[in-house]
Structure 1
Amino acid sequence: MVAAHPKRQSIIDLHCAGFATKDIVKTLSVPRRTVQRAVKLFKETGGTSDRRRSGRPCSAVTKSNADVIRKRIKRSPQQSIRKMANDLNISEGSGHYAEYTKMISAGVKWRNYSTPLLYM
């Protein structure tokens, strides 16, 4: 998803103060098209937040599910992701993905523990 432009609120404030598009572009050093899109969005919705996106909402790999899986792993490391995913009514793959993304965001470094090849 594309993040909202950080100067969007400033653009709208200047627009409401009566500044023309070219003046806002010069003042904030932003592209003309960015100003035009922000003003158009403001006129259509009355605010500066992004519109709701279409598509299937994410329901399995949520922050709460990832936190539950992480806490369960800390409490009993022997319990399988399959069992945890079954208890949370999510797929096993989503359980693995939720834990993987949580570990990556926590800064866990992955190591390859495969047997090294011996060269003669």
Structure 2
Amino acid sequence: MCNALSPEKAVIWSVLHGLAPEDLRADYFTHPVYRGWFEAVDALRRDHAEVSIDAICAIAQNRGVAMRDIDRRALRRMMRIAPPGRIADNAELLGQALFDRHHGNAVHIEKLIN
């Protein structure tokens, strides 16, 4: 069984728990739902508001992000459960992978294998 986790999912999970790098940007995400979640969390934190599932979903929906039930379940799970150590310990490296991919730099995937 493969225990791999997509870098985007790992990064959004760290974002939800306040572990992501400060310089992360929404356009680093290619998955529209993760991009919407990132924008929602970023807006909530800028406004010093509570980051909750309902608030994230409301902001994302207002911004036109289409979420399926599977997306809502994933969000609930990621909000309820803290990211495992392999994500929390490597949040900077995972964020760097998204940055590198976005800017067309080499992504050293061997560092992300868990």
TM-score under structure 1 normalisation? Answer: 0.25
Query: Looking at CA atoms only, which structure, 1 or 2, has the larger radius of gyration?
Result: 1
Q: Which has the higher contact order (CA 8 A, sep 6+)?
A: 2
